[in-house]
Amino acid sequence: MKANYNLKKQVLENGCCNVVKKQSLSSYKMQQYKKEYDFILNGLMLFGEIENISYNDLIELNDKIEKSQEFYIKSSDNLKQYTKEEIEEAQKVNYASYKRQNRLQQKALEIIKSDSAIFLTLTFNDDVFSNMSKETRKQKITRFLKKTCNKYIANIDYGAKNEREHFHALVEPKGDNIDNKVYYKMFYNSAINFERIKITSKKNHDIESTSKKVSKYVSKLTNHAIKETTQQNRIIYSKN
């Protein structure tokens, strides 16, 4: 079935996706708190006490359960303003975003672990926009990344002030740095900005935290691109 990008754009802009996400999150939290509450309660009833756990912990958990219930009810009420079609589309968009973010995080993790990761911002001058189509610009960006990087993740973005098209990319360069001459040859008088990805330590949780932040940002660009153009803008991945 062909994707309805106008409907995708609609549910991203009118807040339906956010409300569906809040309902889902509050439901999940409520279930987890209830499981934890029941586990502690059963333990206290059986053994009288559990190390480092008291009835005060039950009171705190009960408060969390009540708050998550309140959020669930509020988000459920907010959903009444949307049609069934919008809610179903929002659920699809959120699920796709979740799956995409997981894939992105794994790919970002591979690049960041290389210890040479760079975040690129690729912009174009006016002549490029005048003489080169959007699809051609994307093809050339892909060609540039293939030529200069071992691995990469890239996607389109638009400036907040003037909605000017540009690209962001997380890359593992083939050398110590990116050969910017290749970029300037493809896009004369355009700009390429570099930012090294710094990790506070080599511990796995620090690396994974960094990759998660990057993947969330790149994933966000895809939804932003849908809102801006009502067309699908696939994330550019390296084949390997």
Please report whether residue 42 resides in a domain. Answer: yes
Torsion of CA 199, 201, 207, 212, to 10 degrees: -60
Q: Rank 45-59, 124-138, 186-200 by mean pLDDT and report only the highest.
A: 124-138
Report the share of the chain in percent with pLDDT over 70.
Answer: 78
List the domain range (segments joined by +) for residue 11.
5-82
Say whether pLDDT at 213 is over 60.
Answer: yes
Instruction: Write out pLDDT tens, residues 152-183.
Output: 988 888 877 777 889 988 899 998 888 889 99
Contact yes or no for 169/154 (Cβ under 8 A) = yes
Q: Report percent pLDDT > 90 for the chain.
A: 42
Which residue matches tokens 């990008």? 5
pLDDT of residue 153: 87
What phi and psi, each to the nearest 5 degrees, are found at residue 177?
Answer: -150, 175
Residue 217 contacts residue 140 (beta carbons within 8 Å): no
Regarding whether 75 and 31 lie in a shared domain, the answer is yes
Q: Which residue has the higher pLDDT, 208 or 62?
A: 62
Q: Residue 216 above 90 pLDDT? A: no
Kindly state the average pLDDT of the residues 79-103: 90
Q: Which of 37-46, 110-119, 172-181 has the lowest mean pLDDT?
A: 37-46
Q: How many domains does the chain have?
A: 2
Report the candidate in 118, 131, 124, 122 with the shortest Cα–Cα distance to residue 173.
118
What is the CATH number for 172?
Answer: 3.30.70
152 and 220, same domain (yes or no) = yes
> Higher model confidence: residue 217 or residue 172?
172
Domain-located, residue 108: no
Residue 219 pLDDT greater than 50, yes or no: yes
Last residue in a domain, options 23, 58, 82? 82
pLDDT at 230 (0 to 100) = 40
